[in-house]
Amino acid sequence: MARRRRNRKQLDLTPREIKIESMAHDGRGVGRGEDGKVVFVDFALPGEHVRYVPVMNRKSYLFGTTIEVLEASEHRIEPKCAVFGDCGGCVLQHLDETVQIQYKQQALLENFKKIGDVQPQALLEPMTGDHWGYRRRARLGAKFVPKKGGMIVGFRERNTSYIQPTDKCEVLYPEVSALFPDLRTTLEQTSCNDKIPQVEISVADNAIVMIIRHLEAFVQNDLDLLTDFAKRNHVQVFLQPGNLKSVHPLYPVEPDALYYDFPEFDIRVEFLPTDFIQVNSGINQQLVAKAIDLLDVQIEDRVLDLFCGVGNFTLPLARKSNHVIGVEGDQALVNRAIHNKQLNKLGNVDFHFGDLFKEDMNSSSHGDWLEQKFDKILLDPPRSGAAEMIKRIPEFGASKVVYVSCGPATLARDAGVMVNQHGYRMTYAGVIDMFPHTAHVESIAVFEK
């Protein structure tokens, strides 16, 4: 505490001017102060000349926030959202959406160069879709704060853990955003409104679902209020009194199974509201088709899909190849994937449970797929990448590997191993506009032997 006070004392809050030279991977503008120190400036764009105030001073860099744009970038636009700047959900709304993806592409290429010492032989055209109202998954914070007018619901604030009161979110599906005022009022009317920390939202092709986390039991009147909310808004409401296993439906008591379809592949994917599904439905349709196209799947190919979740890539792949195997580290998702295999009457796909981060994977713990050969491999790991699996890739003998990534730094690391150690060529790579207005970068890379 004493140290923090001392640091605060040292922070000179005098406004300064700076020329912004580039963009950091978190969306901040980057320039150099008069003393040569690197400065990361919120809400400043490359090419701009801004006035900023320092907000945090570190030994080798400084954080600041823009108070005036003296020379604006030609790509600067008016943010659409009323809480842009305060809400931590989006950081790039002040940058033309068609240019955002160019910066993400630049970030990807920089990562390839700096971390993996690799470059793709060719760039794929960025994959783009709707820039607004695209988000079908969200975890919203909730808190009862009488000083701020009662119940607040929204994303976390930028740079703090407080919740930003939000009445309308421009990136969520509009039909979900429209529910915010009623959701807020209904939660506020419950007897334990100060014990509701979170609401999770999922949108399926056939329903909207809300999971309400509560730290104290609801009384009957609360359950009636929430049931009425569900009925008048035609949403499914689930309650979560404890850990993930405690999630159960309130209304309807026996809800319809949630699903999304891939019309192009005649595939239906069912999922539970707690399951991982890709955030952006339109982009997901394009991404799955593109990944399968890039793999150039032939009917006789043996295909391996690693980190397969509920079968998002695996099931469409099974329409193109006679033999597909999906592997996933969350048993609940494996169970759902097996259910989806049956739902789609697919006899040519198998799913296995396996922790793909383990150093000592073997066929007794993971299944005999580990010792088999595959012609094509698809990987879609979490942000931490697939270092352990990448080490073993040569054992499968695949001629093509497609890697879908939500972490450009780990993709670059793994690409370096694929190219510089395993002798694959990185023939294509590109960015995917999965999360417009945020700093998240989704990308795809193709490796060939």
Nearest CA to 422 out of 440, 444, 385, 396 is that of: 396
Print the binding letters for residues 301-340 with ligand SAM: x by CB under 6 A, - otherwise. Answer: ------xxx--xx--------------xxx--x-------
The smaller minimum CB distance to ligand SAM, of residues 328 and 375, is found at 328
What's the closest the beta carbon of residue 69 comes to ligand SAM, in angstroms?
37
The residue sitting closest to ligand SAM, measured at its beta carbon, is 329
**Where does this chain touch ligand SAM (CB under 6 A) — which range of 83-91, 251-259, 352-360, 426-434?**
352-360
* Residue entry with tokens 């599904």: 277
What's the closest the beta carbon of residue 428 comes to ligand SAM, in angstroms?
19
Verify whether residue 308 is a known catalytic residue: no
Instruction: Verify binding: residue 110, ligand SAM, rule CB under 6 A.
Output: no
- Over the range 123-152, which residues count as b (16 or more CB within 10 Å of their CB) and which as e? ebebbbbebbbbbbbbebbbbbeeeeebbb
Kindly state the helix (H) or strand (E) to which residue 151 belongs, with its residue range: strand 150-154
What's the closest the beta carbon of residue 306 comes to ligand SAM, in angstroms?
7
The smaller minimum CB distance to ligand SAM, of residues 61 and 276, is found at 276
Report residue 440 as tokens.
């998240």
Number of residues binding to ligand SAM, judged by CB under 6 A: 19
**Where does this chain touch ligand SAM (CB under 6 A) — which range of 104-112, 115-123, 295-303, 380-388?**
380-388
Catalytic residue among 87, 90, 169, 406: 406
In the range 387-416, which residues lie near ligand SAM by CB under 6 A? 406
Q: Helix, strand, or coil here: 163?
A: strand
In a 13 Å sphere around the CA of 361, the CA atoms on its Cβ side amount to: 23
- The Cα-based distances of 404 to 104, 154, 252 in angstroms read 15, 29, 36
The smaller minimum CB distance to ligand SAM, of residues 75 and 319, is found at 319
Report residue 236 as tokens.
């499914």
Query: What ranges in 351-436 are assigned the alpha helix state H?
Result: 363-366, 387-396, 408-420
The smaller minimum CB distance to ligand SAM, of residues 141 and 309, is found at 309
Q: Determine how many CB atoms are found less than 10 A away from the CB of residue 420.
A: 12
Residues in contact with ligand SAM by the rule CB under 6 A: 276-278, 307-309, 312-313, 328-330, 333, 355-357, 380-382, 406
Active-site residues: which are they? 406
